[in-house]
Amino acid sequence: MADYNIMELMICAASRLLEDRSTISVGTGAPCAAAMLAQKTHAPNLVIFFEAGGVAPILPLMPISVGDSRTFYRGVMASGMCDIMETCQRGLVDYCFLGGAQIDRYGNLNSTVIGSHEHPKVRFPGSGGANDFASYCWRTMVITPQDRRRFTDRIDFITSPGYLSGGDSRERSGLPAGSGPYRVITNMAIMDFEESSKRMRVISLHPGYRLEDVQANCGFELLQADRIEETPRPAPQQLQILRTRVDPDRYIIGRG
């Protein structure tokens, strides 16, 4: 039996993708946990930006919001939203973590409405800073559960741009060349985006899952890498730090 749960696996997998001395914009929850874990293990010089203005804090505990006082703790600057967004626009932020109610094959995200915008079936909080982050940070990463309602052939509203309609459509729209979705980390697999078509592609399967499981829980056809790896299990050191120094109250990783 595994000595970790699926949320711990997802956070550890996301954490490994962050290099030392890189920059990242995060929100609360699992993305923040992944950034904190990276900072406390292999990336001590990871520079974390929070939307409300915290820059490069050494996070003592998990913040409960992007404006929590802990997002400024021992930081290099206590700024504001305008400065954070300008930093993204200037091309100085390597990564961002986003989520949404829907995602399509090109990594476009919807966190606005289900149904028509004029007469929605469900209305969500909307963009916040997500559109700015997806537009201007170089690499967008998504942590999300996987099911057919969430991974859908056509999203109802583009809140945060991915590769739009694929190919070079992102660059043609005026967004920075070379920016866009980078990884999607789910409870089953890790996906990237094929270089020319920009379609979502399975590159790694979590232990215990098959490619058929991932495809069955996706509303569009997934591409497959030539060689699909198995996602590494969390290392004992990662789990110890995650459980005792990142999320000791288990708000994010849960009790399982």
- For the question of residue 221 being annotated catalytic, the response is no
First to last CA, the chain: 12
Q: From CA 41, how far away is CA 47, in angstroms rounded?
A: 14
Active-site residue identified among 51, 118, 171, 229: 51
Contacts by 51-57, CB closer than 8 A, 24 or more apart? 51/25, 51/27, 51/81, 51/84, 51/128, 51/129, 52/80, 52/81, 52/84, 53/77, 53/78, 53/79, 53/80, 53/81, 53/83, 53/84, 54/78, 54/79, 55/79, 55/84
109 φ/ψ angles, rounded to the nearest 5 degrees: -120, 145
Q: In this structure, what DSSP letter does residue 248 have?
A: T
- Pair 170, 198: CB distance under 8 Å: yes
Q: How many other CB atoms sit within 10 Å of the CB of residue 151?
A: 25
Distance CA 230, CA 210 (A): 10
Report the C-alpha gap between 51 and 129 in whole angstroms: 7
Active site (catalytic) residues: 51
